[in-house]
Amino acid sequence: MERGTERGHGHAWATANLMRWLRQQLQERSPEREHLEAAVAYGDPAEARRVLAHAAFTDAQRRYVDDLLCRWEEALAERYDHPHAPSPDRDR
């Protein structure tokens, strides 16, 4: 997906991709996975970062998840900077 296109979907794109990736990496149900899913559901990237801080990721995985978290934070910031702008995930 082109970066311009993903920005158009902002928060929804970031959270969907983060959840998809986390589910692939953390296939077994665990308190940590449930905590991460709750952090994503409640829009709390800082909590997600805290939970993931000690996860056993490779360097490449760590860079990827850090990138997803940064994009999620950017999408949230844009959403809060422009609260009345149309959003595909707002009208659901």
- Number of separate domains in the chain: 1
Does some domain include residue 86?
A: no
pTM of the model as a whole = 0.64
Task: Give, as one character, the DSSP assignment of residue 42.
Answer: T
- Are 51 and 36 in contact by the 8 Å Cβ rule? The answer is yes
Mean pLDDT of successive 10-residue stretches along the chain, which has 92 residues: 47 74 75 86 90 89 90 83 54 44
Cα distance between residue 88 and residue 50, in whole Å: 28
For residue 69, give its domain range: 7-81
- For the stretch 51-69, pLDDT in tens is 989 888 899 989 988 988 9
Does some domain include residue 1?
A: no
